[in-house]
Structure 1
Amino acid sequence: MIHIRNAHEGETEILTNIGLRAWQKAMAAIGDSDVMMDGARDAFSNFTRDSWLTITVVENHGVTCGWAAREKLDENITDFWIDPDELRQGLGSALLSQIEHDVAAQGFDTVALQTHAGNEEAIGFFKAHGYVVHWLSVVYSPALDRDLPTVGLSKSLLPADDGTYGSAF
């Protein structure tokens, strides 16, 4: 059974490990992830320890399987990580649905995120959930100390226009 909840203080280790495993998989297209592992581990650990109030967790049968964050609690998803061993079970879809609900409940019309351009699996996942690529750019990543081709995706949270004019009587 899938359950979505807010993160708890003290979950740093489990959230770091999930983020790190998912990050390694996502970084496979770029390479050198082993070289960057210590820095990535520190970054995940610091973020999940210091920003746990911005993290939403997905569990399956009581086991934490992934998490997402909105660092500034705005319309931007800054992190979205599902344990690679738990993919294709609806966990990412359930987590994304909750994040979109939270963003809309705060009055935002759009939800947005960015990822590296080689992260085809994530881009495909978000496109399948109605996201559209709006930009492609090369962005310097301080964590990786390199320029990285990056895509920005977004999705409107407004009701779809049915093509009619006015109200139906």
Structure 2
Amino acid sequence: MYFKHQLGLQDIAGRKINTREAVRAVILLENKLLLVKTVRGDYKFPGGGRKAEEDDREALVREVKEETGFRVTEVREPVGEIIENYKDACEPESVFRMTSAYYLCEIFREGEKQQLDDYEAELGFQPVFIGAREALKLNEEIFAREMEHSNIFLSREICALKEIIKFI
């Protein structure tokens, strides 16, 4: 199974596009997903932007370790991709495009200390194992309640959770 979705702006013809490539880890252990919970109570897949010198595997290993404290032991097959197009905050006439590739991953069961960036610490990132349907329900409730004030990643993660529920 492989999913592909596009979110955000649809009519972007002729506009400058600033891109960022990201990776997200889909880690299933005993029928629960390893997700990152924020202080707002929403959930995201561990992952983030790929550095210029990294391939997807290297970025996944680094991001999962930083955000959750867990060590990735195996990066398996890609399961999907979500492309987000939004008005660029730095260049309002341009489009910011984030392409997130989702990969099945395995982890070593013993976690270590997280290594959060400042903004991640501010969002209170905490690794949790949670059922996919429960995480989806909670994310949808927060999105319905907060809409435009919710974390920017929330619609992406709702979309990904809906797809991943189909094959787990």
Could you say which TM-score interval applies, normalised by the shorter chain? under 0.3
**How does the TM-score come out when normalised to structure 1?**
0.24
Taking structure 2 as the reference length, what is the TM-score of the superposition? 0.24
Higher percent of residues as strand: 2
Query: As a proportion of its length, which structure holds more helix?
Result: 1
